[in-house]
Amino acid sequence: MNAGARLGLYAAGVAVAFAGAFGVASAAVPQSVVDDWNARAAAEDHGTTEEHGSTEEDTMTQAVPAGLSLSSGGYELSPVTAPVTVGESGELSFQILDADGEPLRDFTASHEKDLHLIAVRSDGALFEHVHPELDHETGTWSTPWQWQEGGSYRVYADFVTGADDAKVTLTRTVEVHGEYKPMHSMGEQTTDEVDGFDVSIDGQLVAGATSDLTITVTRDGQPVTELEPYLGAFGHLVALRSGDLAYLHVHAMGEDPEPGDTTGPEVMFAAEAPTAGQYLLYLDFQVDGQVHTAQFTLDAVHGDGTSGATHDDAESSDH
Ligand SMILES: [Cu+2]
């Protein structure tokens, strides 16, 4: 695939940058706009406005990736209750709190579920993606839980609110006592073998742009054409930035499948990498009613095509 051509399609109008954007923006825009931003920021601090508006504001909103904070948009993830030791079986539970500190009970289904729970160890190993149950009386979400290995885990709650359809990703860290086997893989990993399936990922992540990624599934050297819908799509891809484990937006491309449809061996996704550097990707796909998870590691290059490995992202100049 030609990264340059894709970039040409997507680069215009896409928010680039991270820390660098703030300095550039405040120097390049009229003072009145800056004053407006400041006024809105102050108002939001007091919870008095939820105005949605300008392109500039959207750009700044996009500049910080999701999944880095326990609170966002007035919603907060309560402390997570879970087993503290490897092998102890129990329950993982939590609440989503609204701006008044009350448990949220009203959600909008997204990808067929009211809430998606992701857990992954800080080194990217031991990814889990499950769907807890909501107790509507208490507003408590829970799911049976057992940790396989010790370490520090990031837990993400990914949901859409019922009242205002806000898309929110909140996260907390959970420490687990027990044996720790570090994951050694460094560098790009574009193939994985899981449950007898060989899964590969093809495409180039580009910082600040939407990048097409193609997944191919084979078994015993033969293309797998019986990929089934899972959560309303032919596969569910989660991407995390290595280092801070920021949570990326990844969308399956093409029409949503109907129940009973199958596809394969290729599935296309569009991913937005906020910066250059390394990303961990996890694909859930379904064959014969069984869900399998393949894991990959990809490097995102700067928008000018240079490697992100040794550069300071804030110096990226592709605005
Ligand atoms: Cu899910």
CA 115 / ligand 1 centre spacing (Å): 7
308 pLDDT above the threshold of 60: no
Q: What is the DSSP string of 99-162?
A: TTSPBP--EE-BTTBSEEEEEEETTS-S-EEE-PEEETTTTEEEEEE--SS-EEEEEEEEEEET
Quote the pTM value: 0.75
Question: For 42, what's the count of Cα atoms within 13 Å in the CB-facing half-sphere?
Answer: 6
Please report, as a single letter, which amino acid is at residue 271.
A
User: What is the predicted pLDDT for the residue at 306?
Assistant: 76
Q: For residue 290, report the distance from its CA to the centre of ligand 1, in Å.
A: 15
pLDDT higher for 38 or 109?
A: 109
**Mean pLDDT in residue range 145-171:** 96
* Residue 78 alpha carbon to ligand 1 centre in Å: 19
Percentage with pLDDT > 90 across the chain:
65
Query: Does the pLDDT of residue 290 top 50, yes or no?
Result: yes
Torsion over CA: 282, 244, 13, 3 (sign): negative
Q: Which pLDDT band, with edges at 50, 70 and 90, does 95 fall under?
A: very high
Percent of the chain with pLDDT over 70: 76
Q: What is the mean pLDDT of the chain?
A: 81
- Give me the pLDDT at residue 319, please: 39
What's the pLDDT tens digit per position in 216-252?
999 999 999 999 999 989 999 999 999 999 998 787 8
pLDDT of 162 above 80: yes
Q: Does position 194 have pLDDT exceeding 90, yes or no?
A: yes
Question: Which pLDDT does position 63 carry in this prediction?
Answer: 57
Determine the pLDDT at residue 34.
Answer: 40
Higher pLDDT, 29 or 186: 186
- Convert the pLDDT of each residue in 98-123 to its tens digit: 999 999 999 999 999 999 999 999 99
Can you give the pLDDT at residue 316? 42
Ligand 1 centroid to residue 101 C-alpha, Å: 25
pLDDT given at position 286: 96
Q: Is pLDDT at 301 greater than 80 in this prediction?
A: yes
CA of 231 to the centre of ligand 1 (A): 7
- State in Å: Cα 117 to ligand 1 middle: 6
289 by Cβ neighbours in 10 Å (0-12 / 13-18 / 19+) ranks as exposed
Q: What separation in Å is there between the alpha carbon of 268 and the centre of ligand 1?
A: 18
The letter for the amino acid at 233 is A
**Alpha carbon of 274 to ligand 1 centroid (Å):** 22
